[in-house]
Structure 1
Amino acid sequence: MSAPAPARAVITGWSAVSPYGIGAEAFTEGLRDRRTTVAPVDTERWGVPTTRAHLVPGFETREVLGKKGTRSMDRVTGLAVAAVGSLLGQPGSAEESETGERAALVLATTTGSAASMMDFTRSSLEGERPYDVDPAVMPNAVMNCAAGQCAIWYGIKGPNTTLAGGRAAGLLSLNYATRLLSSGRADTVLCAAAEEYSAARYWLERHSRGAEAPGVPLGEGAAVLLVQPAGSHRPERPPLAEVLAVRSRVATGARVRDVLADCVRDALAAAGTDPAEVWAAAPGDAPGRLGHLEHEVLEQICGTEALGRVPAVARIGDVSAASGSFQIAMVLATAADDPAAAGRVAVITSADRDGSLACAVLRLVGR
């Protein structure tokens, strides 16, 4: 006899630390008001020549999280810890089911903190001896530091994973979360993504983008989804969306358009749904040509109306590895304000310049 098919995963909660502020409510209100989040940058503090960015307003790690345990915490870790805390602090959260031995955490990133890595390496090169470095800063230079700190702060004792996948990392981490649940490795997964603003990230982006999209301002923030098996949720955390399918591909150059279209169609087929059912399509808004291709593919498959229902993630700047998670948060926030979204399907895509393509299909649940 064949084993029964695992129950599909559902998203039962979400929160964010974004250029709109801290928490899901601040994010939702910012979207409703269609507020712009781009703001002047203190070029002297950040060591950048640009004057515009989408920063989390007033975010200072020690002021938000307190002084205990944050003396050497870098910015991306602070953003991730704050986002997870804002989710676990929501009304209806339960420590016994959302933390502990059966809870897992998956964090999407590009490289962790590029600033911490470069600063630590620089101190080794500039010191009198290579080992003249601050040992307290060393953990920040490890890519999985933010995920580890989130687990330590909140007692999340199950699997702890960092996925480095660039712009596709948010959707890849959602797929990883569903696999943890279906394999029985966890009963709850906090599926997070984080990206910081720093001089190191600014210069890396400036030199790697080339002339294609030089003026797109960077954004920062962290978003987190609470993912659980269908039917295991508590009344205080009703399902917001069912994860029907996540699919991924790899393609570069002239092949991207066709391969991305195949990826979207494959995800819809795996979800057992038709493009006509798609209520909203949310592209990742990658800077330059990739972003245009995403729009074209989704418009062709899902239609213009679906493409225009959810605010563009570019509204909060280029948040890179956090974009997929923010796209899902935008879909959920928008659907909560529209009764017509109940039972309908949302398609979310990501495209990274290194070739990673991903598509997630969600069925929205009405309240």
Structure 2
Amino acid sequence: MSVSLATGADPDSLVVSGWSAASPYGLGAAAFTEGVREGRDAVTGDDGTGGLGPYERAGRIPDFDIRAVLGRKGTRAMDRATALAVATAGLLLGEAGPGLAQDDPEAVGMVLGTGHGSVQSIMDFTRDALTGEKPFHVDPALFPNTVMNRAAGQSAIWHTLRGPNTTIAGGALTGLLALNYASRLLRQRHCEAVLCGAVEEFSADRAWLEYHSRTGGGAHRQPVGPLGEGCALMLIEPLGRARSHGRAPLATLLGSRFLAFTEPEGATRAVRRAVTEALKEADVRPEEVGLLVPSDSGGALGAREDTALGSVFGEHRPPRLRLRRLVGDTCAASASLQLAAALAVPGEGRPVLVTSVDPDGQTGAVVLRTGAA
């Protein structure tokens, strides 16, 4: 293993060397950072359009107009989720420095998480097929928006990213699973850098689907709270590559663990084990952790996550950043926004633990160290 004599850091260590976000605070890392540091509530009421479905409030990206942000060319039939991903990728690539993708497009991949893709597009297309004079009297230009990998594929095409392109769907854990997948791509030398994150759009149709899934029967019933939308993307690459391109590492990836549980009561044990094993892999003691960013899912599931974290950390009580209550439940994008929040708050050199737990029976934990490697 080659080690940098100046810092003792392995140049092959995987680092976050850039990030950006589209969130209810606005477009870009600066808007997100400001909102998170202030602890500002970005969940707002109906703006008069009546598009909140069964909810009274939601965390929506303010004044996001697809054509105004991306231009008219290529956006006539673009759905909101795709536009959010394309716009966020553009912001990240612009900040990462010139030539990231242009010099060697095959070297840069993309791993993008999503819930179902664009729920609004799927529902609209299906509705047209059922209510039209004939089932095939639909707009073919809208069909690509119904495919789950539309946002990832279009983002790569738009920004000339010709490396591996993957779509991940894993509920609330999606962002952590995407990060894990991106790390494997890099460690297996399938590419040299990856844009990694997740996206979720807000729409009335998605709001109704979430509402009915949460208020229906079953053991995994969840509290009904305001939904949100957003996209967070990080540039992941080896430390040596980041330095050679003049990018300072913002965080180093240290460890991760993912587990499943079959009954709601098993969530506490699964979270505790995932956290313990992720810390062990990262060679970090619980008392060294400087920040916790839990999924903050609320209800019984959120209480079990808190109980598990309390049992791991005991008397050591690092501050907890609870993002969901600020921006709403962003579902598939939530874990990526949690990672972005960990990068947004001050705390150079401290280990940070990000956890997520999903009512469908899976949990995950990621440990990273913020600041220079």
**TM bin (shorter chain):** over 0.9
Shift of 1:259: 1.2
TM-score normalised by L of structure 1: 0.92
Shift of 1:49: 3.7
CA RMSD of aligned residues (A): 2.3
What SS does the corresponding residue of 1:201 show, helix, strand or coil? Answer: helix
Do residues 265 (structure 1) and 276 (structure 2) align? yes
Where does residue 5 of structure 2 map in the other structure? Answer: none
Shift of 1:284: 0.9
What SS does the corresponding residue of 1:59 show, helix, strand or coil? Answer: coil
Decide which of 357, 362, 366 is 2:368's aligned counterpart: 362
Q: Distance in 2 between matches of 1:49 and 1:359?
A: 32
Contact 1:98/1:188 (CA < 8 Å) preserved in 2?
no
Where does residue 298 of structure 1 map in the other structure? Answer: 309
Where does residue 252 of structure 2 map in the other structure? Answer: 242
Where does residue 50 of structure 1 map in the other structure? Answer: 55
What one-letter code is carried by the residue in structure 2 that aligns with 1:125? L
- 67 and 114 in structure 1: CA distance in 2 versus 1, 3 angstrom threshold: same
Contact 1:349/1:359 (CA < 8 Å) preserved in 2?
yes
1:207-252 deviation line (CA, Å, top 9, x unaligned):
1112755441001010001000122213631111111112101113
Do residues 73 (structure 1) and 83 (structure 2) align? no
Shift of 1:114: 1.1
Decide which of 112, 115, 122 is 1:107's aligned counterpart: 112
Q: How many residues align?
A: 360
What SS does the corresponding residue of 1:90 show, helix, strand or coil? Answer: helix
Contact 1:42/1:51 (CA < 8 Å) preserved in 2?
no
Where does residue 284 of structure 1 map in the other structure? Answer: 295
- 281 and 214 in structure 1: CA distance in 2 versus 1, 3 angstrom threshold: closer
Where does residue 253 of structure 1 map in the other structure? Answer: 264
Decide which of 331, 349, 355 is 1:349's aligned counterpart: 355
What one-letter code is carried by the residue in structure 1 that aligns with 2:328? G
1:151-181 deviation line (CA, Å, top 9, x unaligned):
0110000110000101000000000000000
What one-letter code is carried by the residue in structure 2 that aligns with 1:241? A
Contact 1:93/1:236 (CA < 8 Å) preserved in 2?
no
1:112-154 deviation line (CA, Å, top 9, x unaligned):
1111111111111111211111000000000000001100110
Q: Distance in 1 between matches of 2:334 and 2:344?
A: 15
What one-letter code is carried by the residue in structure 2 that aligns with 1:296? T
Where does residue 12 of structure 1 map in the other structure? Answer: 17
Shift of 1:296: 2.1
What SS does the corresponding residue of 2:225 show, helix, strand or coil? Answer: coil
What one-letter code is carried by the residue in structure 2 that aligns with 1:355? G
What one-letter code is carried by the residue in structure 1 that aligns with 2:63? G
What SS does the corresponding residue of 2:355 show, helix, strand or coil? Answer: strand
What one-letter code is carried by the residue in structure 2 that aligns with 1:345? P
TM-score normalised by L of structure 2: 0.91
Do residues 315 (structure 1) and 321 (structure 2) align? no
Q: Distance in 2 between matches of 1:174 and 1:322?
A: 12
Shift of 1:288: 2.1
**Larger displacement relative to structure 2 (307-316 or 261-270):** 307-316
Contact 1:43/1:49 (CA < 8 Å) preserved in 2?
no
Question: In percent, how many aligned pairs have the same letter?
Answer: 46
What one-letter code is carried by the residue in structure 2 that aligns with 1:134? D
Q: Distance in 2 between matches of 1:173 and 1:96?
A: 20
Shift of 1:293: 1.7
Decide which of 121, 130, 139 is 1:125's aligned counterpart: 130
Shift of 1:262: 0.5
Q: Distance in 1 between matches of 2:132 and 2:229?
A: 31
1:40-91 deviation line (CA, Å, top 9, x unaligned):
2246452624331110011111111111111111111111111111111116
Contact 2:294/2:320 (CA < 8 Å) preserved in 1?
no
What one-letter code is carried by the residue in structure 2 that aligns with 1:316? V
Gaps of 5+ in 2: 2-9
**Larger displacement relative to structure 2 (283-292 or 215-224):** 283-292
Where does residue 194 of structure 2 map in the other structure? Answer: 189
What one-letter code is carried by the residue in structure 2 that aligns with 1:239? P
Contact 2:297/2:324 (CA < 8 Å) preserved in 1?
no
